[in-house]
Structure 1
């Protein structure tokens, strides 16, 4: 199944009109459960297609995904009314998280971090979005209200990081386009919506614990988002204890139990983990102050033989 077919299949599934009468409650519940399980599988496949770089996501596809995400958490589809069982509600939440992580992954923050690190000009990089694309995508993001819907917070935060990184690249053809986008304002909006708390909630959910999906990939996307956020706004230098504790909670839950991520962290050539390594270095320099935070972080980063030796 091609990427476009997968996207159409999910869109058709989630928008599909409710086919049962009010009297057929049991059948409706079963239908909702099975439909949402199918949606979860479709989104796992779509995520892997992007995460494994089997295909790229252009602006039109990204806007479709963004629109679906907004409509799902706005509860406009009939599937919301039918998701009354615990299983259906869990699968629906799973779908929201999957869509969010797909949207974040397809912003390609890892590539942008590499471009910033290597000082690659925007026109010579491998960003799939043009400045015109970014304007259109920003119009969609600006229609979100993180204050009213907590699900919007992490996406707005990711978009702020994306714009900040793009703005940091040299030799942009039309820098005025990016200057008109207030990425700092987006960060403030995301923080008002407690986006970091929502990310922590995702990490504590069954989606990233007991799911049969690509859990390591999902955690990797969140790792990249947090790391890119820290790098973009030099968070390590301006953390109060409350925000520091929250970011540490997120980082620890991302790495704990994931040997591949821990191995990557201790690889000094891994620029993605650089901002998080800087946080670790800061805690080490401040020793014995914040010793509890230091021990928590180190304990989360020791999964596997080599990481355990590094810690």
Structure 2
């Protein structure tokens, strides 16, 4: 049964009662609202006369871009991720699982309250050192988790692979970048015609699709980081898989560079992360993530001049090739 913001309260109550989640004698739903705009899944805040909780439900497509098909089983990956995190150090930084219904692809999570995602950092153009350190520490604790078995999540990884390593670099893309910012299309063509660059990107893409031994969040960027009264949460791990630590850390580094317009944060991240990282691979992932966010489909709320984007793209190319 699919639920959304237009479903009736009785539909929600029937579904949740069938799961044994609500107490039908004492608990009634008072309101159903969107806590924010979800990208991949339907996300709703449900308030009852007793409590508040978050419902997430997947569909066979991307919720924000419904013309893009996506594996409906991704909600199970999110469930498995939260289950795999048993380290008490990280427990305060992820929502608790309240219930899971595989039949309806429905996950019920703790309501973290009035959080905001950390996309505001792009406008602030700065990320405080303690904040960055905490995000590195959370990632490292995720990477220490050792699930006995974990889903490959290959179908979603293949979709993500296209959007990270392939589509942004197509010479004949139908996606008009000038509709986003005048001059961006011409800028992108420099890199879309760079065969040496694309060869290195393809190598990293192959590694992304290979099996690894580290539990990854898989989409570790400001849209997945939440903050509330100086406390940080990490959510939305549906892209999670067993891979290489440099992927999560490289993505985080890329967004730190785009926020600050300063490559020095890469060194800070490398030095803070407690385990040894392949510095070259980390730099390549960071460079690819910068490029795909500037000239790919997955655009950010990143207000930068065309000159600043030109500088970022040159920086990204150097990270990938040098």
Q: Do both share a fold (TM > 0.5)?
A: no
> TM (normalized to structure 1)?
0.29
> TM (normalized to structure 2)?
0.28
Counting strand residues as a fraction of each chain, which structure ranks higher? Answer: 2
